[in-house]
Amino acid sequence: MLLPQGGAGGKNGRMAFEPFIVTAELPRDVFAWADGLRRAHFPPERNHLEAHVTLFHALAPSLFEELKPLLKRVVAEHPPQPARITGIMPLGKGTALRIDSRGMTAIREDIAERFHGALTAQDRHPLRLHVTVQNKVTVEAARTLQEELGAAFKPRDFAFTGLGLHIYRGGPWEAVGRWSFRG
């Protein structure tokens, strides 16, 4: 079982722990395209991850025993979820691909309801599905990329293939499991 690391001797005397991240899994072709954009435009010294769509940013390790079977059940009850990349999303000092998916949003809301009271402030905010392709750059660099990508942008339909569970490892993530939607 994955447990919090660091004990009571974490930074500033707080207990250190590594939260879980839940992602919506992209089909191979969309992943390859988005990951190529991320590798091309994300500052390399800060790019510890592949392209991904985050549903939950920081679920407590204490939820693990409940979380894993819940994700397995959710994918068993749903088919792949239709989605559409609808545009370029400004992130202040970054750029993302905006994604619309009623089905994935509803699944995320159901999971959030299950963990009501245990969500971080960031995970209580309304979901904005996206793939970050650039972050932690100047506002000017972000705007330049947004203009460049926007000039050639065409909407892209796809279906999310499943859910992923990861543990945060101080930058990189460690995969805990991936489950495919039925069908």
Structural domain boundaries in the chain = 17-180
Q: Which pLDDT does position 15 carry in this prediction?
A: 35
The pLDDT of residue 182 = 92
Query: Mean pLDDT in runs of 10 for the chain (183 residues)?
Result: 38 59 98 97 92 96 93 97 98 97 97 94 94 96 97 97 94 93 85
The CA distance from 26 to 30, in Å, is 6
At 183 the pLDDT is 67
Helix (H, G, I), strand (E, B) or coil at 94: coil
Query: pLDDT value at position 25?
Result: 98
C-beta separation of 176 from 167 below 8 A:
yes
Tell me what pLDDT residue 171 has.
81
Could you please state the CATH topology (level 3) that the domain comprising 17-180 is classified under: Cyclic Phosphodiesterase; Chain: A, (3.90.1140)
Give the pLDDT score at 141: 96
Helix/strand/coil for 173: strand
- Residue 83's Cβ-count burial label (10 Å; 0-12, 13-18, 19+) is buried
> Could you tell me which residues come within 8 angstroms of residue 182 by beta carbon, excluding any fewer than 6 positions away?
75, 76, 77, 78, 79
How far is C-alpha 97 from the chain's CA centre?
12
Query: How far, in Å, CA of 60 to CA of 18, rounded?
Result: 8
Collapsed DSSP state (helix, strand, coil) of residue 97: strand
